[in-house]
Structure 1
Amino acid sequence: MALPAIDTVVTFPVGELIASATVVHVAPFGEGLAVIADRTSIHPVDRAWPDQPADPGVLRVDGREVAIRDALVAATDGTELHIGDIPVRPGTDGWTFVVAHVVDGDAEVAEGDEIELEADGEARRALSIGHTACHAAALALNRALAGRWSKAAREDALGSPDFDGIAIATSRIHAMGSVDRYRLNKSLRRAGFDATGLGDELDALAASVDATLAEWVAADARVRVERVGEHLSDRRTWVCELPEGSARIPCGGTHAGSLGELGAVHVAFELGDDAGTPVLTMTTTAQPGAA
């Protein structure tokens, strides 16, 4: 079987749940099969930055419905297919980037099959709300912490010092929310961030972030995903039209159509320790339909 020759066309950035496609390659993967198609509506997880999980969904072929157990970003140089663990960056010359849909090993799917892929709509919406809330909370956190910088720092999309972008260690999106961990290490302090007394001000910090989020949600700031092309490796950007201006953040995930869809959004903070390095954890929760 020939390995895929073109990047997968992805339709999830524009909110589509269903895609008709042609299978271009099937390969063993663990105890299952990795099915690669020329297009997909299924959002895959990228192990290089695994913030948003893969969409649950189904693959339909010849009247049969096959559960998609996972979906992973994969890549090939034409000789070997790397699923999940990819040795090069997206867009590297000579490499093709695709979505590997993982199904059970006994699934009857073959190269050349015409298939339909459908993401679970309820799960997609919950993850999209969680991802949008994550970005909005990060911008609100940057604003709340702006007074703790003693030196000029890289700015975020709204002009605040980009604490989120500089200190982020991990970000995980889940249904209706996210968990973000920030390392308050020596390099952050040398860059000018003062964490003195932060542990005693976590409630006040949460109140400040919540107030900003409430303002943005009340404004029903519009959200869209801009992309330079339709393929998996093409650059995509989250854009939110906030009262302060247009915020733009590179992002490959899925999103709500406006901040109004998030309902009430709240954050909570914990200050912990990782081998001697202070770690700030922000948990963000959205409640659609709540005031």
Structure 2
Amino acid sequence: MSLPAGDTVVTYPDGDLASTGTVLHLQPLHDGLTAVILDRTAFHPVDPVWPDQPADAGVLLVDGRSVPVVGAVVGATDGTTLHVGDAPVRTGTPGWAFVVCHLVEDASGIVPGAIVEVEVDPETRRALSTGHTACHLASLALDDALSPLWTKEVPVDGRGEPAFDQLAIASSRILPDSSLDEYRIGKSLRKKGFAAADLPAALAGVTEAANALLARWVAAGDGVAIAIERDGDRLGERRRWRADLPEGTVKIPCGGTHLRSLGGLSAIRVELDHDPAAYSLTMRTTVERA
């Protein structure tokens, strides 16, 4: 079976929960699973380069048979080898095709050229989209609340505040209706002008300020429109999260899924945990639906 020559067309940035595609390639894997590659899919995969958002849940419908998708990851091929979840290059690298690998336990009856319908579980998508949207908003609120602790000029975020999240992020995990972000407050950040020594005394006020800003945004509800802007419909093309906040539009590079507004939410809150010995700050973000 020949390997795909181009990127998978992805429709999840538009919020799609279903799609129809043609099987291009099947790749048996060492763990007994099979990677099914379609030309087009609504299924959101895990990107191993920055695996913050888990894959969608759902099924493939083939000739009336429902095949559970037990995982989905970004794959990459140079035309000779398919790397499933361990690409040696970043998404978008010229000369490589980036594809969504739908992982199934039973690929019987799935053959190249077959037409497959994709159905994504709506509640799983909604919960992860909620968590991802809240994660971005929380990062902006944290940047705002920490702005008094900077003593030098540094790059700013989409709202013009010192970009603590961008400069200090170590890991991010999107969870159902929540997220967990870990930041590194080491020597390099302090050299950039972050007053780490002042953080313990300021932590309660920072938390309060961030939550107050989040509450103001949530109160705007449907007035905060959210969308994904993209350069094209292929997996490897750049995408940006856009939120029309009361004070202006903000954009953040992002390949995940999101809500379309803050309508339907009653609260977004953050909790901060600072560990000076580990040079770390942890932010837990939770969402309450209306």
**TM-score normalized with structure 1 length:** 0.96
Secondary structure of the residue aligned to 1:7 is coil
2:227 matched to 1:224?
yes
Secondary structure of the residue aligned to 1:196 is helix
Hey, what does 1:9 align to over in structure 2? Answer: 9
> What do the CA deviations read for 1:2-46 (whole angstroms, capped 9, x no partner)?
001111000000000000000000011221100000000000000
Secondary structure of the residue aligned to 1:131 is helix
Hey, what does 1:83 align to over in structure 2? Answer: 84
- Please give the alpha-carbon distance, in whole angstroms, between the structure 1 residues aligned to 2:156 and 2:235: 28
Q: Could you list the runs of 4 or more consecutive aligned residues of structure 1 that deviate by over 2 angstroms after TM superposition?
A: 105-108, 199-204, 259-263
The one-letter amino acid of 1:10's match is V
Identical residues among aligned pairs (%): 52
Secondary structure of the residue aligned to 2:196 is coil
How far off its partner does 1:201 sit?
3.4
Secondary structure of the residue aligned to 1:259 is coil
> What do the CA deviations read for 1:90-113 (whole angstroms, capped 9, x no partner)?
221211010000000454311111
The one-letter amino acid of 1:73's match is V
Which runs of 5 or more residues in structure 1 are unaligned? none
2:131 matched to 1:130?
yes
Q: Specify whether residues 19 and 200 from structure 1 end up closer, same or farther in structure 2 by C-alpha distance, changes over 3 A only.
A: same
How far off its partner does 1:231 sit?
0.5
Hey, what does 2:95 align to over in structure 1? Answer: 94
Bigger shift: residues 117-126 or 107-116: 107-116
- Please give the alpha-carbon distance, in whole angstroms, between the structure 2 residues aligned to 1:81 and 1:126: 31
Conserved 8 A contact 2:149-2:198: no
2:49 matched to 1:62?
no
- Please give the alpha-carbon distance, in whole angstroms, between the structure 2 residues aligned to 1:74 and 1:54: 13
RMSD over equivalenced CA pairs, Å: 1.1
The one-letter amino acid of 2:14's match is V
Conserved 8 A contact 1:54-1:72: yes
Among residues 242, 254, 260, which one is paired with 1:257 in the alignment?
Answer: 260
Hey, what does 1:268 align to over in structure 2? Answer: 271
> What do the CA deviations read for 1:51-74 (whole angstroms, capped 9, x no partner)?
000001100101100000000000
Hey, what does 2:19 align to over in structure 1? Answer: 19
Task: Give matches, 1:34-53, under 5 Å.
Answer: 34-53=35-54
The alignment of Structure 1 onto Structure 2 pairs a total of residues equal to 287
Hey, what does 1:287 align to over in structure 2? Answer: 288
Q: Specify whether residues 106 and 254 from structure 1 end up closer, same or farther in structure 2 by C-alpha distance, changes over 3 A only.
A: closer
- Please give the alpha-carbon distance, in whole angstroms, between the structure 2 residues aligned to 1:129 and 1:250: 17
